[in-house]
Amino acid sequence: MAKIKRLRFVLVLISEPKQVAKVEGFLERLNKKLRLNETQFNKLLVATTEAVNNGIIHGNHRDPQKKVTLTCELNHSAIVVRVDDEGPGVDPKKLPDPLAEENLLRENGRGVFLMRSLMDNVLFERSTGGSAVIMSMKL
């Protein structure tokens, strides 16, 4: 893998579900610098897409007047992905367990589980202007 200096990439999206499609192209452009292998890239893509989708749907309630900001920072040892929305945030401890029998057939409720499964670290933050999920992947 090539030596990476500290880089920062930002994508601002309006809160419409179709905007999630822009995440893949954004990450593909970023990966030209990063050169992740296919498995690493797919983990990054799924986790980031889930976070952006949650920000649009659950955080901003699909309000096109509100924005979701995706920021990726790269350094020599990790990629840090931050997804900010304008919503109240979520308490991840209060989310239902997607592996519990009563939840196995649900169509939703797996986003945070996937993020935690695919990334090395996942944090949730709340602020006066909204909330954020911060995920990192070691390189």
Partners of 84 in beta bridges: 69, 132
Query: Each residue of 55-110: pLDDT tens digit?
Result: 999 999 999 999 999 999 998 789 999 999 999 877 667 765 655 566 555 555 56
Residue 6: the pLDDT is 80
pLDDT at 1 over 70: no
Give domain 7-138's CATH superfamily. Histidine kinase-like ATPase, C-terminal domain (3.30.565.10)
**Cα 38 to chain centroid, rounded:** 18
pTM for the model stands at: 0.86
Q: Give the percent of the chain with pLDDT over 70.
A: 83
- Give the model's pLDDT for residue 127: 81
The span from the CA of 31 to the CA of 87, in Å, is: 29
End-to-end CA, the chain: 9
Tally Cβ neighbours within 10 Å of residue 105.
Answer: 6
Q: Using CA atoms, how far apart are residues 76 and 57, in angstroms rounded to an integer?
A: 33
What whole-number distance in Å separates Cα of residue 137 and Cα of residue 119? 5
